[in-house]
Each structure stands twice: as C-alpha cells, then as structure tokens.
Structure 1
Amino acid sequence: MARSNRPRRENSRRRQSKRNQEWQPLDVERLQGGMRRTEFKRGREYTVQPIRAERAQKVYTCPGCSGDIMPGTAHIAAWQADHIMGDASALADRRHWHSHCWKIA
C-alpha cells in the first residue's frame, strides 16, 4: 500500500493552533540562576533555592560552618518544605548556606 505524505487534518489543525499562540520569551535569568527544588535531608523535606553571585547582596552566616557568606558569593537558601506553621513561617525561617556546606550537611 502506498504511503501518503500529506498531513492529516488533525495534525494540520494542531500545527495551526501552535502557530497562533502568542510567543513568550524564555526567562534567561531564571534559567541561569537555577530552579527551586525539593531535597530530603535528615528525615525532613527542604525547599532549596540557588542564589547567583550577582544577586547575593548581603552578608549571611552559614549554619553549616558558622562562616560568613560575603556579598557576591553564589550560595543556596534552604527552608523546611513541610513547616508546621505554614509556608509563610517556613520562608521566614530560611537559612543561607554555602553550597558545599549544604551538600555535606
């Protein structure tokens, strides 16, 4: 049986609807900065957000080594994902860690 190279109507409709959608540019800053993720450590679930060097503008104390995280240093912010007092309280209790200290904690 000969094979037809013509697109089926279903496929051509699908292509047209994709073409008609409004184009939205990629958020390059978000892609470069890393995505928020969930990790399990010490039996708890944590939300981990990478912080790029250019966005780090304050001095933080790393809870892993008690050393300072200076402005302009890439690091991570972590908070408990299943906080008993809710998401707002968990976010207020977030801590900034050196990336290495978080990995070995």
Structure 2
Amino acid sequence: MLTGATSGKSYRCPGCDQEIAAGQPHLVCWPNWTGGDEERRHWHRACWRKRLDRGPGRSRY
C-alpha cells in the first residue's frame, strides 16, 4: 500500500470510479500476466478487497 505522501497527483479507482486524491493512501496493482507501467491501476483498499464480488462489466484487477 502506498502511503500517498509521495503522490502529487490524483487517480481514478477502477472499482468505484471515484477519485483517489493526491496524498491519500491507496494500492497500486497490475495483472501478473502482463507488465509495464501502462497496466498499473490505483485502487482504494476497500475496493480492491471487494473486486471479486462485482458484477459483469466492472474491472476486476
């Protein structure tokens, strides 16, 4: 989990589609079948825990 202290920009959580404000602690995740910076996603911690319970059409990684 990132503390957010070094983050100077905001991100959009794919789990809830809400903004993660600059400086807010969050997770940075990417699928293990691909790599690279372009696959990284910034998630709220609670959204990451609930990702497998989401219905179709929502990002799960």
Which range, TM-score by smaller chain? Answer: 0.7 to 0.9
Task: Give the alignment's TM-score, normalised by structure 1.
Answer: 0.45
Answering whether residue 14 of structure 2 is matched by residue 63 of structure 1, we say yes
Q: In 2, Cα distance between the equivalents of 1:55 and 1:99?
A: 17
Any stretches of 5+ residues in structure 1 without a counterpart? 1-49
Do 1:56 and 1:74's aligned partners in 2 also have CA atoms closer than 8 Å? Answer: no
Match of 1:103 in 2: 49
Aligned partner of 1:95: which letter? R
Task: Give the alignment's TM-score, normalised by structure 2.
Answer: 0.74
Match of 1:40 in 2: none
Q: Which runs of 4+ in 1 moved over 3 A?
A: none
Q: How far has the Cα of 1:66 moved from its partner?
A: 0.4
- Computing the radius of gyration from Cα coordinates, the structure with the larger value is 1
Q: In 1, Cα distance between the equivalents of 2:47 and 2:6?
A: 19
Deviations 1:23-74 (A, max 9, x none): xxxxxxxxxxxxxxxxxxxxxxxxxxx2112122211000000000001100
**Matched length:** 51
Q: Counting strand residues as a fraction of each chain, which structure ranks higher?
A: 1
Residue identity over aligned pairs, in percent, reads: 33
Match of 1:44 in 2: none
Q: CA RMSD in A?
A: 1.1
Q: Counting helix residues as a fraction of each chain, which structure ranks higher?
A: 1
